[in-house]
Amino acid sequence: MSLVPLLDAQQAPLPAQEFYADGDPGPIVAALAHVPEVLEVTLPFLGVVLGPSALSLRTKEIVILRTSAVLACRYCVDTHTVAARDADLSVDEVRALRGEAEVAGAFPDPADRSLIGWVDAVALGPGTPPPEVAAAVSASVGEAALVELTLLTATTLLLNRFATSLGLPTSPETLRRLGEEGWR
């Protein structure tokens, strides 16, 4: 149960209405719509950080799902379990990212493991990630990619805490997919 009412298209403030033009924009928008001036700048930001970019979709879903699992965000884990499968991550990979199986077994590529190690260190904190973890990820990605996936982890943390604290509901479509694919 959401802690705040999720605004539908009829209740959406004027500056928020464009985000409802293609139908239900989902609970993050419907909650942010309470403060339209924040929504107006947050959505384009999220679109750039989470949307298509120089990082591969697979890499982005690894980062988002892993961060969400570490933070135990039910809403984001549900949503990105489905998104990760759509990004061609295998069932075993998704299970490992969700913390339900060993990462080493599901991800034989050391570059993937260094990425997941980096995400875990950034997400869990506190303080600066251990130097050996930073060295490992730096050896497998370039500087711009490191900046981007670190920001992606941090942005996912933001969304994790937002969605979890406000109790945002998983969408019916996501719940249907999770049921059909045996995740629930």
Partner 1 sequence: MSVAERIGPAIDAGRMSGRVWLYTNYHCNLACSYCLTSSAPKVDPRLLEPAAALRLAEEAADLGFRELGITGGEPFLLTWLPELLVDLAALLPVTVLSNGTLFTPKLVERLRALADLPVAIQISLDRPDPVANDAMRGPENFARVLAALPRLVEAGITVRLATTVELEEIGPGKTPEQERLCALHRSVGIGDDDHVIRPIVRRGRAATGGMGVPATRDDLEPELTVTADGAFWSPFAPTVTAGRLDTELLLTRTVVPLAKPASTRLRLFEGRPPGHDTTLGIR
Which spans of this chain sit near partner 1 (rule: CB under 8 A)? 5, 7, 10-15, 17, 33-38
- Our CB check for partner 1 shows the closer of 7 and 69 to be 7
Sequence-ordered list of residues with C-beta below 8 angstroms from that of 120, at least 6 positions apart, any chain: 66, 70
Cβ distance 8 to 30 under 8 Å? yes
Least CB distance to partner 1 at residue 12 (A):
6
Least CB distance to partner 1 at residue 27 (A):
16
Q: Which residues of 135-146 are buried (b: 16+ CB within 10 A; e: fewer)?
A: ebbeebbeeebb
- Our CB check for partner 1 shows the closer of 15 and 44 to be 15
Q: What is the dihedral of CA 61, 64, 69, 72, to 10 degrees?
A: -150
Q: How far, in Å, CA of 104 to CA of 81, rounded?
A: 19
Least CB distance to partner 1 at residue 34 (A):
7
Cβ distance 183 to 81 under 8 Å? yes
Least CB distance to partner 1 at residue 17 (A):
8
Cβ distance 33 to 39 under 8 Å? yes
Q: How far, in Å, CA of 23 to CA of 29, rounded?
A: 12
Cβ distance 137 to 146 under 8 Å? yes
Least CB distance to partner 1 at residue 165 (A):
19
- Our CB check for partner 1 shows the closer of 35 and 147 to be 35
